[in-house]
Amino acid sequence: MMRNKIIEMRGIVKSYYLGTPNELEILHGIDLDVYEGEFLSIVGASGSGKSTLMNILGALDRPTKGHYYLDHLPMENVRDDGLSQIRNKKIGFVFQTFNLIPRSTALKNVALPMLYGGVPRSERSRRAAELLQLVEMSGRSHHRPNELSGGQKQRVAIARAMANDPAIILADEPTGALDTHTGRLVMDIFHRLHQEQGKTIILITHNAELAEETERTIRLRDGSIVDNRMNGHYQLEACHESV
């Protein structure tokens, strides 16, 4: 079975120029393939280049060198508006600090990516309600973020990430601000999205235990990939498949 390569990175370099002699290279030529339906984790200590990699993966930033294809689309030469559109349609962000719009209700927060995607109003509310139901937040759809607990906020944020049915969900430390129990609930939602809907999920974390739950873990150190392996029972499945 040929698996669809949803992300292909070749020789991604990111450097910052702090005046000509002081070039600071953060990523030193990253090669990365992610297949459709994969649940991938990226781990690394702080300063390893995780965030920079995530920004490039999420089309928030451009690499200095190298090629990046997202859903077979070459990302070089895409202008700012094009990047906005790619973020809108292809990527669903889940942040550590939730990043919900404080004055808007849960429903409106979920509907926001659809607003920027040009989805008609009635369709937006309908789908937002559906997504809130998926994360079991229907009862809170008219509450503002400050009336929600951390776990609830993160569930709303996951629903928002799903709004435009993106190619990948990019979750940056999604449980970092939550206690173990609610963190568990949030992880369960990711597993469900992965298993039931076949979503491609990239989880960025420094929690080795959580990384262990995913299919594959990429380890970053000082701007390079030092480890790329299948985890636990997934390893077996992968062996079966390749046979």
Tell me the C-alpha distance between 232 and 42, whole Å: 16
Nearer to another protein, 60 or 236 (CB): 60
Closest separation between CB of residue 96 and another protein, Å?
A: 11
Residues 99-118 that bind another protein (CB under 8 A): 99-104, 112-113, 115-118
Based on the shown chain and the rule CB under 8 A, indicate whether residue 78 belongs to the binding site for another protein: no
Pairing of strands 216-221, 91-94: unpaired
Based on the shown chain and the rule CB under 8 A, indicate whether residue 138 belongs to the binding site for another protein: no
Nearer to another protein, 68 or 93 (CB): 93
Nearer to another protein, 55 or 224 (CB): 55
Which of 14, 50, 140, 160 is in the footprint of another protein by CB under 8 A? Answer: 160
- H/E stretch holding 133: helix 121-134
Based on the shown chain and the rule CB under 8 A, indicate whether residue 164 belongs to the binding site for another protein: yes
Residues 36-55 that bind another protein (CB under 8 A): 55
Q: Which letter does DSSP use for residue 236 in this model?
A: H
Closest separation between CB of residue 228 and another protein, Å?
A: 26
Residue 138 dihedral angles phi and psi, to the nearest 5°? -55, -40
Footprint on this chain of another protein (rule: CB under 8 A): 55, 58, 60-61, 80-81, 84-85, 87-89, 93, 95, 99-104, 112-113, 115-118, 121, 160, 164
